[in-house]
Amino acid sequence: MSIGAIQFVECSFERHGTSVLEILNEIILNSTAVYDYQPRALPSVEAWFHAKAERNDPCIGVEDAGGRLLGYATYGAFRSWPAYKYTVELSIHLAPEARGQGLGPRLLARLIDTAHDRGVHVMVAGIDASNTRSIAVHERLGFRLAGTVRECGFKFGRWLDLALYQRTLSSPAHPVDG
C-alpha cells in the first residue's frame, strides 16, 4: 500500500490523542516494540501529552493527505538525575499500514534535527534486539550499539533482549553543570 502525500506536524492531544492511543495499543498487543502488556486508556495519553508539554519534549507526527496520523516520533528524559540533562530516550511508532513505506527514517531524521536544535547531546533508542528493521533504520541514521541488556523483558512467553543504541550530536555548543 502506498501512502501518497504526507506532511509532518507537531502532535497535540486534541488533534492526535485518539490516533496515538490506537497506534500505541496495536504495538503493545502485537509486538515487542513496547515492553508492556495492557493497552492504555485515553486519559493516560492525555497525561503523556501534558507531561511532554511541561518538559518541552517534541512529538512529531506524520499525516497523510487526509490528515490521518500515520505515526509519531518523540523523546523524553533518559534518566532523572540532573547530569543526564543533555541525554534523551526516543520512541518512533507507526500505524501498521504505514510500516515499510520509508516513514520511520524520515521521522527519525526530523527528531534528530529537533534534538540538535534543542541542545541534546546524546539520543538513546531502546530497541528489542529481534527488531532488525528498527535497528537497521537507526544504524542508517548514525546510531551505534552501546550495549545489550540480556533477558530484561518477558513477553509473549519468552525472554527479550533490549539493545541500546545511541547517537552523539554536536550540540549543545556550551554545556554547563547544574
Distance CA 20, CA 148 (A): 28
Greatest Cα pair distance in the chain: 50
The string of DSSP letters for 86-117 reads TEEEEEEEE-GGGTTTTHHHHHHHHHHHHHHH
pTM of structure: 0.95
Listed by start position, the domains of the chain span 6-168
**Tens digits of residue pLDDT in 125-173:** 999 999 999 999 999 999 999 999 999 999 999 999 999 999 999 999 9
Contacts of 93 (CB under 8 A, 6+ apart): 23, 24, 27, 33, 34, 71, 72, 73
6-168 to CATH, choices 1.10.510.10, 3.40.640.10, 3.40.630.30, 3.20.20.140: 3.40.630.30
